[in-house]
Amino acid sequence: MPKFDYAPAPESRSIVSIKPTYGLFIDGTFTRPKGLFPTINPADETTLAEVSQAGPKDVDKAVDAARRAHDGVWGRMSGAERGKYLFRIARILQERAREFAVLETLDNGKPIKETRDVDIPTAAAHFFYHAGWADKLEYAGLAPAGGEMPRAHGVVGQVIPWNFPLLMLAWKIAPALATGNTVVLKPAETTPLTALLFAEVCQQADLPPGVVNILTGDGRTGQAIVEHPGVDKIAFTGSTEVGKAIARSIAGTRKKATLELGGKAANILFDDAPIDQAVEGIINGIFFNQGQVCCAGSRLLVQESIHDEVVARLQRRLGTLRVGDPMDKNTDLGAINSRAQLERISALVDAGIAEGATAWAPECTFPGTGFWFAPTVLTGVSQSHRVATEEIFGPVLSVLTFRTPQEAVAKANNTSYGLSAGVWTEKGSRILWMADQLRAGVVWANTFNRFDPTSPFGGYKESGYGREGGRHGLEAYVTNTVTGAAR
């Protein structure tokens, strides 16, 4: 299939005004910048801005501000009034959507069409959805029969990753505020800018000071938030390694936690599936956001009889993908988020080749600077290969085969993770059987990577515990007033 030539269609960055330096957002205002470190554009390695490194004293101030806001204003406010603030934030996100999309692409490296069409609209949708819940918590089934209204934990510490900076912020902050909690949030050190812009949205929405506090910094800042005695609950999305460290840190304390960690999803393709449709779903499942997605369909389990045909169609389709400038509206795959992540992807692919897999990638012309990796398909992969067991978190698809549904389930479940899976078949009964057998928190049928604020998301095993989104996601942010135990 020939690759069409497209004239450049760059998105203007003029709508975004990036400050040279940023302070921390504590108690409704920005502090004076200090301990600065750079955040760079992964597409060209230029410095976008310098942000502050929060220390233990900054964490103390933020937690104290959040406690005062909870005890004095936010925790006492009616759900209907809280909902008004969330609606206001959602509307402002929509009004400033282009600004957020451009800034997210500059700081993260993902294509502008993804931030424009997926990340920012979905972030706003989470605030709209949870605004609707704010005055209806007594009807959410969060308390036992005859029990009183569920109450907020108090101060919630939240640590989010770099792959979906604003969207993960929305996943965390919206339910916390809707249920009456206040927040101290740390964005990833490589992608802090949209979180800092969100702080301006909080000011624009006249959110009471201290309800949302945003501290930039590295892992030391996150650790200080997790271990702070004034934090009642932790919400974390990120690597399994860090998630385990958090679980060990809070063990034996009164703190509650939700952990959304890594994944190694199986995308299972049966021989009766519509192959062209499935190929598009496979492409979206692994190459969306350069594969830097915790629920990415990084393992393709294809029925043996159609293996060669599917691989040939995948290769043909990959040859049409456009890799390059994330600010170009024609781009399908942008830059890898950081040099460290690029090195990890490269090392794991090299390990797969050394273990006997065959790598294929289309010819790609990369810009002279930045962090780039071509969309890659690995065939000849066995269950024991590192590329079949470890989370690569990049645009790399490992292809395995199966003969029977039972074998597909066994191979799909043969992982330490359990976040997501996909099933492609025309048989509804097979979809239901597979979904029942797969040990995954989310199972997509004849699609992949589809999200909605009304639907809970989370995993099993080393993919973490707890759910985010939907009614189920509210449970993690309230306690039972009868027993005082977390629901």
> SS3 for 98?
helix
Cross-strand partners of 397: 377
Residue 294 appears among annotated catalytic residues: yes
Read off φ and ψ for residue 459, nearest 5 degrees. -135, -170
Nearest CA-CA partner of 106 in 19, 168, 154, 47? 47
* Euclidean distance between CA atoms 7 and 19, whole angstroms: 31
Sign, CA torsion 459/464/465/467: negative
Identity of the residue numbered 413? N
Strand pairing report for 151-152 and 155-159: unpaired
H/E run at residue 421: strand 420-424
Residue 260 appears among annotated catalytic residues: yes
Which residue of the set 260, 390, 391, 475 is catalytic?
Answer: 260
**In this structure, what token pair is assigned to residue 42?**
């992964």
Strand pairing report for 358-360 and 376-379: antiparallel
Sign, CA torsion 74/79/85/90: positive
Nearest CA-CA partner of 90 in 16, 176, 180, 198? 198
Which residue of the set 294, 295, 390, 468 is catalytic?
Answer: 294
Beta strands in 224-298 (DSSP E): 233-237, 256-260, 266-269
Contact between 21 and 196 (Cβ < 8 Å): no
H/E run at residue 360: strand 358-360
- The residues annotated as belonging to the active site are 260, 294
